[in-house]
Amino acid sequence: MLGQAHALAMLGATARTFWRFLYALHQWSSMNRAPEFSL
């Protein structure tokens, strides 16, 4: 029971991290399209 809950919590944390990464990537790509932004 406890192991299952822990696995679910780990899965949730992984999903949140994944979505945060996708959001950051989206923000970066939209910022990258701006003419004032250059690497």
| Residue 10 Cα distances to 5, 19, 22, 30, 36, angstroms | 9, 14, 18, 30, 39
pLDDT score, position 32? 73
Q: Residue 38 above 60 pLDDT?
A: no
pLDDT score, position 29? 85
pLDDT score, position 33? 72
How far is it, in rounded angstroms, from Cα 32 to Cα 30?
A: 5
More confident residue, 7 or 37: 7
| Band of pLDDT at residue 1, cut at 50, 70 and 90 | low
pLDDT score, position 16? 96
